[in-house]
Structure 1
Amino acid sequence: MKNLKKLLLLAALTLSAATAAAQDPETDWANFGRFEAENAALASSPEVVLMGNSITEGWIRLRPGFFAENGYVSRAISGQTTSQMLVRFRADVVELHPRIVVICAGTNDIARNTGRISLEHILDNLQSMVELARANGIRPILCSVPPAGAFGWRPELKPAQDIVRLNGMIRAYADAEGIPYVDYHTPMAAADGSMNADYTKDGVHPTEAGYAVMERILPPVVKRVQAEIGK
């Protein structure tokens, strides 16, 4: 029995060591460093910050003029989940003192980029970002997760219906809380819930044609909020 206990203890210690090795203590898990210099260099508070993942990051890369013309600042990081965004929300949104934050997130949660997470807990993270924004006098805008029928990096997953369900939850929360909701999903989705092939090459990330659709949808919502703030 003693030998069995020793073997179990050794196995537990080995597993613990392996886990610790996999979680490099030098890793910036939330990627605070990504915008640290840019945040410090801001001469004034931005009007609108877009918090998101590669969908938003790709947007400013392909269409920087759209961001400049509308006074939008991106604080989006490719591959990030809502858990990571929530951790850096204070540094990359609150401390910039914008009037508005646009939150577009959830794709990578459904793809399990940082592990399995329920739709309810994804919504919890979004709600926490909203609450942080409101507590600091920042008006939040919530966006739908854009459509996707498959993830190239997680081919075993079938995300289309999970995205539809999550969007329904986000919209219901936004409606209940009086938060503007931006629906990218409806005009960009094919009948099977994937992204319309006219708007994407990989099924997840919009092309310039896809971003053109998004550019028709977001600014009117932002302008309505700006008008309300200006009253």
Structure 2
Amino acid sequence: MRFLGGLLLAGVTALTLGGCSAGSVSAGILGDGSTATPTPTATASPAPSATASDDDPVSIAVVGDSITAVVTGFNEGFTTGTYSADSWLASTVDDDIVFAGGWAVAGARTLDMRNGVAPVSADLLVMLAGTNDVLREEDRQGSLENMVAIADTVGAENVLVLAIPPINAAPERATQFNVDAKALAERHGWTWFDAAAGLRDGGSFIAGLTKDGVHPTPVGQKLMGAAVRAEIEDLRADLG
């Protein structure tokens, strides 16, 4: 898939890991109910803000909800360069793809992400947003406008919009959201990618790959993260 440079795009709701205070976001339909403090993985490396060459690591900013943050309320660490070892991000980041920061909070809607994100010095913004909007039947156009505002605030030159995973209780709405998000990405010169394709059986999760019809299992998270890593590697030559 071709990665297209964006127009000063920014933010992806920091992987359910905060930028706005956890208290400002509803515990949320997307919250997984966990209250334990997650074990953060490695600290993010300083991210070069210039364009990435084939030999340089690609720095990524990430914005999301509990599918990214994994643990309810784990937001402070995310903005300082750490993330949950159970997040798909842990299977994306390596020596060639470095995490530069972002915002992600369990239960976050695109509006919460829009209000919470801050500029991040990164080559690429990876945004996984919209599941809570679909669950709460938020206005679709408003959700798309929030995604544009997130990208503008984050300010990365390139944007990768990830399809939301299946929602077993609302497969049609989730599918339509992805159709609209893909069209939005195309209009703005972003890349849209279905990292959850390997978790889908029609409009629902493959049996055994979801905990509750919304959140991927640890195996599902790893499948998504590996898919995102491969997509970023494919896009490397077009970054900048």
Bin the TM-score by the shorter chain.
0.5 to 0.7
Pair 1:56 & 2:80 matched: no
- Select the residue among 216, 236, 240 that pairs with 1:226: 236
- Select the residue among 191, 195, 206 that pairs with 1:184: 195
Check 1:111–1:214 CA distance in 2 against 1; reply closer, same or farther (3 A cut): same
Alignment-derived partner of residue 140 in structure 1: 159
Runs of at least 4 residues off by over 4 Å: none
| Alpha-carbon displacement from aligned partner over 1:134-187 (angstroms, at most 9, x marks no partner) | xx343211011110112xxxxxxxx21111111000111212332111113433
Alignment-derived partner of residue 10 in structure 1: none
| Counterpart mapping for 1:61-140 below 5 A | 61-62=85-86, 65-69=90-94, 70-72=97-99, 73=101, 75-90=103-118, 94=119, 96-112=120-136, 117-133=138-154, 136-140=155-159
Contact residue 69 and residue 106 of structure 2 kept, 8 A: yes
Q: Which runs of 5+ in 1 are unaligned?
A: 1-25, 32-37, 151-158
Check 1:61–1:78 CA distance in 2 against 1; reply closer, same or farther (3 A cut): farther
CA distance, structure 2, for counterparts of residue 65 and residue 130 of structure 1: 22
Structure with bigger helix share is 1
| Alpha-carbon displacement from aligned partner over 1:26-84 (angstroms, at most 9, x marks no partner) | 995259xxxxxx9xx97733711211011011283315753552323463211111000
CA distance, structure 2, for counterparts of residue 129 and residue 65 of structure 1: 22
CA distance, structure 2, for counterparts of residue 204 and residue 29 of structure 1: 22
Q: Give SS of 2:24's match.
A: coil
- Matched residue type, 2:24: W
TM-score, with normalisation over the residues of structure 2?
0.64
- Matched residue type, 1:100: L
Q: CA RMSD in A?
A: 2.9
CA distance, structure 1, for counterparts of residue 128 and residue 141 of structure 2: 16
CA distance, structure 2, for counterparts of residue 132 and residue 67 of structure 1: 23
Alignment-derived partner of residue 211 in structure 1: 221
Equivalent pairs counted in the alignment come to 179
Q: Which has the larger radius of gyration?
A: 1
Q: Which runs of 5+ in 2 are unaligned?
A: 1-20, 27-39, 49-58, 71-82
Structure with bigger strand share is 2
CA distance, structure 2, for counterparts of residue 65 and residue 122 of structure 1: 27
Q: Give SS of 2:214's match.
A: coil
TM-score, with normalisation over the residues of structure 1?
0.67
